[in-house]
A and B are shown apart, each in its own frame.
Chain A
Amino acid sequence: MAGRFTRQPNGLEIRGISRGSLLDHPRVEPVDEPLLVPPSSRGLYFYETIHAGQHLMDAGDDDDSTITGGSDEERRTINQSLTQSDDTIAESETSHYWSAGNSFTTGNTTERSSVYSWGDDEFDHQASQRVREMFQEIERMLFEGVLSGSISLQQECREWMVAFPHLRIIGKQLLPPCDIGQWHPVAAQSKKSSIQAPQPTNDLDPLDVDSLEVRGSSVPTHAVPSQHFHPPDQDNIYAPTSVGSKLPHLYEEIFEQDGTVEEYLAYDIREMDEEENTKRYYIPRRRRLGFPPITPNACVRDAVLHQVFDVVWNRVVACLSSDKRSKASLLKHLVQNISRAQDAQLSENLLHAAEMKDNSQLSVPTLRYPNDHRSQQIGPQNFFPENLDYEEGIYPHQLPGDRFGVQPLNPASSMMMMPPMSRLLNPDVVGLPLSRGSYFDQANSRHLPFSQGRLSTAPYSNTGDINSLNDVMKISQKKLQARSERLPLPNDDFSGGPLPDPRFSGRPLSSHFVNGSNIPGSGNPLGAMSHHLSAIAISGTPSPLATPNRPFNRDMLARQPSATARKGRGGRLARLLPLDRAKTPNIEFDGYVKATKLIPGHLEPQSTSFSGRINSPPHSFQPPPTAPNLGTWMNSRLPPISSGLESLQENTLMDFKRTRGKTAHTRIASALADEKPVNRALENMSRPNTTHTFRADNLVQKRSTSVTPSNFMFGAQGNSIGIPTLKTSSPAGAGFLATSSGSNLPYPQQSATSPDNVTGLVGITGRSINLGLGQSTSPDEEPGPPHSSWGLSSQNMSAVRRKRAVFGLI
């Protein structure tokens, strides 16, 4: 951020000095040359200006550029005189002010124009010479005791001689004093320099540093004896101990202390305004130009504003410049983008699901790992160990904590553990309210890659993408019904305690468990992978809980609306389709269709296919991401909500229509309330298993009450930009961006536990989304500015909010 303010050095301007002439030119010329009086004083002044800044005026001899008139001779004279005068100054630093040594040139002034007759003619020249001689006489009297002149003068001199010691050093100062009070006697000459005997100064090296000296007395440093040192945590650090009293001065004596003292290097203006008299610090705005922000907050604010401006400005320029939209108002355009983004998000979710299906199908051939091949043939019961191996093989670098996610592989234990664990550890799965922001963040991070992948297939290798599919999966909800249908009673045992809500009855089988197992590793993006695998394993487990393979399959199938449609549940289909059409492109439908084919028959193959897909290089653009997505997919299946489809649909529709999540919250509650009775009835369960993709969203809602479709949308918006953020780590925001993003994505739930609490990163991504979204969604547009990184720490939240305001204005 500081880079924005590059200060231009205030260079000294040296005019009229030609290049290269500075070094090789003799500094002082022999003084016995005839001195000419330049007719015009302007040239002289010009030289004087140069002289003022640098002692390089002698270089002016070679100068051919700017001297205003005058012959070479003249110029040299000027140079000479200047040089001489320089020496005069130097000498004046000594005690003989009027020594005639080199200062004769003072008579050669050119100031004829002066009313006060500073100039002098030949007579004046002689007179000044005479005066100089007189001064020399006086000096001789004072310093050498050579009496001359009038008696009164002699008397006067004697008085001064008596009163003050008179010592002098005669010579020409070669180095002009760089500082008043600093005196560099350089090689004092035995003889005073004079006109007749000019001192050669060619040997002068202005860069000579040898004469520098450092004065003072060195103080030896002693290490503090160890016994006097007290670790800071000790109370007596400030007080000299009995033992360490030898160094009392090292201890700060504190008579009284109240609170803690913090030192700040910089203060924010806001604080000053609050505490200090504002008048005192008021500076007219026009005078504040050019001062970069110094205080941390100001820097952050400034950086944020500039980032915002960049993004906004790109949009604005795009709007204004694009042919089609040039006439559309900016606001309109933005609104369009936003709405489009929302639609796009939905469609993208569907698309993603479709892609997943495709991948799952295709993944088998691309498997890299032998385990996968084996796993295919392994029955569900045998699969678990293999799966474990497989995971390890895939992610050898996985952290030990991540492996915890593998633990659930033991079907029984996992099943047993799941409900409590999920509730405790995995807020995502459990009903813990997620902050909108956090959810957005997840959604954003997950969503973006897909949209991007579709548009540009740009590789998003960031870890943040890993979870990107989770939300998508959440969106798809079909399995709920299938679940409810076939859920065995034992499941109720698991869910019953913590969650009285009948909806959760189906959960034990659901991916929630899987997630729960992953919880410890949730921080790691790879954890999602493990999830997915474990989920698969669970699905394959022979355990009584999991016994109904069909439900699983059905859930899976249920997810894809197309699949359901194919199954011939006409009534369902009719309902679902309109929604789907409205929100999703046809392409996605196709993908779903494919998926349906796969799922129904073979559970194990599917699982294998998933695993394979995870590894498959062709989908490298979402290497880790896919895994989490799968996991989420499983999750989505898990939420065994038996709620009526209608209500769900309504909810989804309503929520989607809402632009903002605030209302959504209330909405959600009501929706849930509505659903409950339905669930109890279980009538829905008996119904055909078909669901529509939107149902997943509802499921998500229910799991985390705070998460609402509206949130989803919001997140989706955020998505598009959220990832660019990750990708492009600008020097300014990159630092915490990377960290925060990395941490946030793996721990979406943790980052924001309360709906109101929006962490900086989340909020920011959501923010940026709005702008970037249009770009990402619409292929014809250019991709969003890569530099739009919203690296913001939690501190920046205020700034972020301001940004929001800015956006709102736009």
Chain B
Amino acid sequence: MEQYHILGRIGEGAHGIVFKAKHIESGEIVALKKVPLRKIEDGIPNQALREIKALQEIGGDCEEAQNVVKLHDVFPHGTGFVLVFEYMLSDLSEVIRNSERPLTEGQIKSYMMMLLKGVAFCHQNNIIHRDLKPANLLISSTGHLKIADFGLARVFDNDSGRQYSHQVATRWYRSPELLYGARQYDEGVDLWAVGCIYGELLNNSPLFPGENDIEQLCCVLRVLGTPSEQLWPGMSSLPDYNKITFPENPPIPLEEIVPDASDDAVDLLKRFLVYPSKKRIAAEEALLHAYFFTEPLPAHHSELPIPQRARKQSRHRSNFKEYDIDVPIEQSCIDPKLIAEFANF
């Protein structure tokens, strides 16, 4: 901790308090995430281990990892440990919430491209984030988007048939199979979340804002239509499939859901929001979608909005001196009397 000078508190997450700090040696601004261990006897929680391991394994300076938040350091501290992340100015939820005017299509493309790059990188490394949501997509001061909060991330193995917890992901971004209590899933859960985020970017509002898990499922089914075994093979085998039934409901064309989106955008969105997990377009594949290669092209990151954290904004007032026009002119001029002696010709 001596290497860091605490500058302030950024926020409080599910896993601990996050501080803004400056690494004294390098002067780098970092985010310190202090993770307490509630019961030290339980050892290091898997969650923490996963986050650390995931970021250690996939984080780095390589270009592919540039859309994943960087973990600088981990060190024990008190009855817990501290994760040192690169400091990120904001997150995508704030961008969506604060942007006075809806994001331009170029900006949306840019965000989506960065998001997909990060997701693709995670998936390439067999890591499922499992908690993708705008709040976990941090925005750096340069406008870059980075995936953060790998607390739910897991290494997945397609072949092992291993079971995972379905209590993952934030509800609005939880995929249908998770809502049905699936214990076996794959990176499709991330892709569904990407689709939800994408729709949120397009609409400037959550696509499936369910109040609870059931309502969440309702929202999804209302838009995508009631799934059928034909449409969604294996659906009936999902744990919670039989627990709830929904009336037949034709799907609503996504063009109506995201009325302002271009055809390419709707098309891409459709590729994400499909019931079968395996049919969702992979992140790498999505990056090649025509959506990213048609006008308007993805915006440069410098063209992206960089929301300031409201609290700090006032402090960055311009500190250069302005000339005050209210000051009497006598105070800013030389007294004529002083030079009168030399001024008479």
Contact = CB atoms under 8 A, between A and B. Distances in A.
A675 to B, nearest CB: 40
Contacts of B1: 106, 109, 111, 118
Interface in A725-740: none
Contact of B79 (A86, A114, A131): A131
Interface residues of A, number: 64
B77 interface: yes
A135 B76 contact: yes
B80 interface: yes
Given A51-B24, A287-B320, 18 more contacts: A48-B2, A89-B25, A89-B73, A97-B52, A103-B75, A103-B76, A106-B1, A106-B75, A118-B1, A131-B76, A132-B76, A134-B43, A135-B81, A137-B43, A150-B42, A163-B57, A286-B320, A329-B343
Contacts of B278: none
Contacts of B126: 163
B40 A97 contact: no
B34 interface: yes
13 contacts: A85-B3, A88-B73, A92-B73, A103-B75, A106-B2, A109-B1, A114-B6, A128-B77, A129-B76, A134-B43, A156-B46, A159-B155, A286-B321
A92 B72 contact: yes
B75 A130 contact: no
B50 interface: yes
Interface in A77-114: 81-82, 85-86, 88-89, 92, 95, 97-98, 100, 103, 105-107, 109, 111, 114
A130 B2 contact: no
Contacts of A103: 75-76
Contacts of A100: 76
Given A48-B24, A138-B44, A160-B57, A118 B76 contact: no
A218 interface: no
A320 interface: yes
A134 B75 CA distance: 12
B37 interface: yes
Interface in B126-146: 126-127
Interface in B221-245: none
A50 B342 CA distance: 54
B292 interface: no
Nearest to B162: A159
A49 B44 CA distance: 33
B77 A118 contact: yes
Task: From B2, B34, B126, B341, name the one whose CB has the most chain A CB atoms within 10 angstroms.
Answer: B2
Nearest to B71: A97
B72 A128 contact: no
A124 B155 CA distance: 32
A151 to B, nearest CB: 11
Contacts of A149: 43
B74 interface: yes
A204 B112 CA distance: 49
Contacts of B341: 326-327
A52 interface: yes
Q: How large is the interface on B (under 10, 10 to 19, 20 to 34, 35 or more residues)?
A: 35 or more
A621 to B, nearest CB: 38
B78 interface: yes
B24 A88 contact: no
A59 B57 CA distance: 37
A131 B320 CA distance: 48
Contacts of B127: 163
Task: From A85, A131, A137, A330, name the one whose CB has the most chain B CB atoms within 10 angstroms.
Answer: A131
Nearest to B42: A150
Contacts of B300: none
B103 to A, nearest CB: 27
A45 B22 CA distance: 12
Contacts of A86: 3, 25
B16 to A, nearest CB: 10
Contact of A98 (B74, B155, B343): B74
B76 A48 contact: no
A320 B43 contact: no
A89 B3 contact: yes
Nearest to B54: A160
Contacts of A5: none
Contacts of B42: 150
B15 interface: no
B163 to A, nearest CB: 12
Given A116-B19, A124-B79, A329-B344, A111 B74 contact: no
B25 A98 contact: no
Contacts of B81: 98, 131, 135
Contact of A131 (B37, B343, B345): B37
A181 B78 CA distance: 29
B17 interface: yes
B53 interface: yes
A160 B46 CA distance: 11
Interface of B: 1-3, 5-6, 9, 17, 19, 24-27, 34, 37, 40, 42-44, 46, 49-50, 52-53, 56-57, 61, 71-81, 125-127, 154-155, 157, 320-321, 341-345
A242 B77 CA distance: 74
A114 B154 CA distance: 34
Contacts of B77: 106-107, 109, 118, 120, 128, 131
Contacts of A135: 44, 74, 76, 81
Nearest to A44: B2
Interface in A162-176: 162-164, 176
Given A89-B3, A116-B9, A97 B79 contact: no
B78 A128 contact: yes
B5 A134 contact: no
Given A48-B5, A116-B17, A156-B50, A329 B345 contact: yes
Contacts of B79: 120, 123-124, 127-128, 131
B72 A120 contact: no
Contacts of A117: 78
Given A153-B44, A160-B53, A97 B19 contact: no
A97 B73 contact: yes
A153 B44 CA distance: 8
B342 A120 contact: no
B76 A106 contact: yes
Contacts of B44: 131, 134-135, 138, 153
Contact of A138 (B49, B72, B78): B49
A124 B27 CA distance: 28
A226 interface: no
Contacts of A181: 61
Contacts of A399: none
A802 interface: no
B3 A97 contact: no
A331 interface: yes
A286 to B, nearest CB: 7
Contacts of B154: 159
B57 A156 contact: no
A95 B75 contact: no
A287 B320 CA distance: 9
B8 to A, nearest CB: 10
Closest 6 CB pairs of A and B: A97-B74, A127-B79, A131-B76, A163-B155, A124-B78, A92-B73
Nearest to A284: B320
B154 to A, nearest CB: 8
A52 B25 contact: yes
Given A131-B37, A153-B44, A156-B50, A45 B5 contact: yes
A128 B1 CA distance: 12
A97 B75 contact: yes
Task: From A100, A132, A135, A153, name the one whose CB has the most chain B CB atoms within 10 angstroms.
Answer: A135
A109 B82 CA distance: 13
A180 interface: yes
B46 A152 contact: yes
B232 to A, nearest CB: 28
A111 B6 contact: yes
Nearest to B47: A156
Contact of A127 (B27, B40, B50, B52): B40
